[in-house]
Chains A and B, each alone.
Chain A
Amino acid sequence: MAISKDHLLWMYETMYKIRCYEDKMAEAYAEGKSPVFNIGAGPVPGEMHLATGQEPAAAGMCVHLKKEDTVTAPHRPHHHAIAKGVDLNRMTAEIFGKATGLGKGKGGHMHLFDPDVKFSCGGIVGAGIPHALGAALAAKKRGTDWVAVAFIGEGAANQGAFHESLNMAALWKLPFIVVIENNQYGISVPKTASTAVLSNDVRAAAYGIKGYYVKDNDPIDMYNVSKEAVERARTGQGPSIIEIETYRYLGHFQGDPEVYRDKNEVTLLRQKDPIIRLRNYLLNECGVTEETIAQLENKATSEVDQAYAFARESDYPKPEEALEDVFV
């Protein structure tokens, strides 16, 4: 399959940006939480689920999407939001609880909504799947070639909403794709202890749709598989499931004691980091220069820095604004 170099460069820049963003978020989240960790303290309070290590799924899919395509994401949403082109300043401000945030500080990190690029996410496992189904239904009804993608974790594939939505998507042949990021754990429970099948792509057979499996967090393979699934959806060939074997380097949430896994596990995973692999691929297989790579990296870093500066400099909402926006 032909791979566009521009696409790969975009993917690299996006994955790099996501990594910078999450690294910086880990630092911001830790502020005000030492020496005693208190989940409610610091400039970024509450739960924080970071996607460090899971970049290929978001970048490899979203490179094929346009603004009119819909993406729904779960409680770990930053990588999808960045890849879908959510306004980075306003997203960061939201996570800092500021009035300039996407939701004026009402939503927070798990509840980011940017209708300008048709992105949403939520804190309830599997709940975004039917929302993407509805977007796909609307696309079909209106005769557009738009598609809808629901990103979920492997744990969500055991929710009723997953199976109900896939049945309907298949029945109505909707432009609907579920991307399952199998990061190996549902909080503390390994996939082998929660899921009766080895990989969720085989569940596609239950609905008579296409199932794809991407091994070992491979960005190129994710790119190829997503390209085919999106093309199929756009041309009326119906829904797909993509499962990607991916890895979360950090805990389920920041502060997770991670009693359920070996400390060396992540060290080994980082040795085959997908960003480094894609970087090497660009340098060795695509004739991209170090200079070009450096330019992309600098651009990504400065965008991220700018977003954090914007968030920190913004004001908090006035307390009584809590009473606004219940009804529009």
Chain B
Amino acid sequence: MQQTKQRLLTGNKALAEAIRLEMERDPNVFVMGEDVGVYGGIFGATEGLFQKFGPERVIDTPISETAFIGAAIGAAAEGMRPIVELMFVDFFGVCMDQIYNHMAKIPYMSGGRVKLPMVLMTAVGGGYSDAAQHSQTLYATFAHLPGMKVVAPSTPYDLKGMMISAIRDDNPVVFMFHKTLQGLGWMDQLDASIGHVPEEAYTVPLGKANIVREGTDITIVGIQMTVHQALEAAKRLEQQGIQAEVIDLRSLVPLDKETIIQSVKKTHRLLVVDEDYLSYGMTAEIAAIAAEHCLYDLEAPVKRIAVPDVPIPYSRPLEQFVLPNADKIFREAIQLVNE
């Protein structure tokens, strides 16, 4: 067997590389945000870009999210392709008007005559005791509001390929990266945060889910961290003779319904896992799709695991209690298969 040497990158380096390649290709691409310059982004998404492109194209902003996200809208309307970083998704509160009343609606209200080819890049996720205002994912909050694509890749390969797609997309894209999947030295070290990334530019389509593990007995749907937890649970389920199929949604808007439906038709059981809040969220959306399109294929009620409708607590035992993990997925899956 021929051995091929694979180039491995962390999530943050894959993201920064995607942005670098697009900045080299297209002079309209530039980056704005807090600490994206010399610091390289608090979660490393712009590492090395300031050194390469300088302050004209990698712009540190004041702590003025309404103004700099609004400015990205204005620049995008002029045909530029800004990438703006909202440091933590939790900070959306101060600038949501620009995001959902303007970025998400101007293309529609203009009858498609105004395009906003911008990327709103933001860090999501908890699990390291950063408490209620710095640990949310808020996937559904953004995905609920029409007019923006919302993507949340789980691997370095997809981070790069989907970022390139996002930059080239003529629509506003909310690009969420998970802090603990960035592969940063000062957070939990996960194997999942490092992976093969080709050197050249390539795209991964927005709106296409990925079956990351094939199985026949149960479908487990997740996104970002919960995909990796589901994969861990699936290994243990296999030891129990249960073959789990794991789907990485990758993209919330557009949502790849077909992949979910086909999988449920095959496995007849569905477990949805989300690091976001339970009610009115992604798990409910996927369950509704199953109910609408493949209810009679189900042999048991749909199960959901998500944050049980409380803000993310600070104290470790409290936070671990509310977040999904492989154990919870394993237990629920066993129950579901035995139902």
Report which A residues bind B (CB closer than 8 A): 36-40, 45-47, 94, 97-98, 101, 103, 105-111, 122-127, 155-156, 158-161, 186-189, 193-195, 255, 259-260, 316-323, 326
Residues of A within 8 A of B132 (CB): 106-107, 111
When A319-B318, A321-B318 are in contact, do A108 and B129 touch as well, CB less than 8 Å? yes
**A262 CB to closest chain B CB, in angstroms?**
13
Interface presence of B254 (CB below 8 A) = no
Q: Which of A188, A323, A326 contacts B38 (CB 8 A)?
A: A188
Q: Which of A123, A193, A323 contacts B308 (CB 8 A)?
A: A323
Complex: chain A residue closest to B180, CB-CB: A40
**Which of B62-70, B222-230, B325-333 makes up part of the contact surface?**
B62-70
**Which of B13-21, B86-94, B210-218 makes up part of the contact surface?**
B86-94
Q: Please report the C-alpha to C-alpha distance between residue A202 and residue B189 in the assembled complex, in whole angstroms.
A: 47
Residues of B within 8 A of A155 (CB): 62-63
Contact B315 A106 (CB under 8 A): yes
Interface presence of B85 (CB below 8 A) = no
Residues of A within 8 A of B67 (CB): 160
Contact A40 B128 (CB under 8 A): yes
**B55 CB to closest chain A CB, in angstroms?**
9
Complex: chain B residue closest to A321, CB-CB: B318
Q: Which of A97, A127, A193, A260 contacts B316 (CB 8 A)?
A: A97
Contact B318 A40 (CB under 8 A): no
Contact A186 B63 (CB under 8 A): yes
Q: In terms of DSSP, what is the predominant structure of the interface of chain B?
A: loop
Contact A188 B35 (CB under 8 A): yes
Q: Which of A125, A194, A322 contacts B318 (CB 8 A)?
A: A322
Interface presence of B131 (CB below 8 A) = yes
Interface mask (B296-339 → A, CB under 8 Å = 1, otherwise 0): 00000000000011110111111111100000000000000000
Complex: chain A residue closest to B42, CB-CB: A187
Q: Which of B186, B311, B317, B320 contacts A318 (CB 8 A)?
A: B317
Contact B131 A326 (CB under 8 A): no
Shortest 4 CB-CB contacts between residues of A and residues of B: A108-B314, A97-B315, A105-B315, A40-B128
Q: Which of A110, A158, A193 contacts B131 (CB 8 A)?
A: A110
When A124-B94, A318-B317 are in contact, do A194 and B63 touch as well, CB less than 8 Å? yes
**B186 CB to closest chain A CB, in angstroms?**
5
When A159-B64, A189-B60, A194-B63 are in contact, do A47 and B313 touch as well, CB less than 8 Å? no
Interface presence of B275 (CB below 8 A) = no
Residues of A within 8 A of B129 (CB): 40, 45-46, 97, 108
**A243 CB to closest chain B CB, in angstroms?**
16
Residues of A within 8 A of B316 (CB): 40, 45, 97, 316
Residues of A within 8 A of B60 (CB): 188-189, 193-194
Q: Please report the C-alpha to C-alpha distance between residue A316 and residue B313 in the assembled complex, in whole angstroms.
A: 13
Interface presence of B105 (CB below 8 A) = no
Complex: chain A residue closest to B40, CB-CB: A259
Interface presence of B127 (CB below 8 A) = yes
Q: Which of B61, B187, B315, B320 contacts A108 (CB 8 A)?
A: B315
Q: Please report the C-alpha to C-alpha distance between residue A107 and residue B311 in the assembled complex, in whole angstroms.
A: 10
Residue from B67, B308, B313 whose CB has the most chain A CB atoms within 10 Å: B313
When A158-B63, A189-B35 are in contact, do A124 and B91 touch as well, CB less than 8 Å? yes
**A16 CB to closest chain B CB, in angstroms?**
28
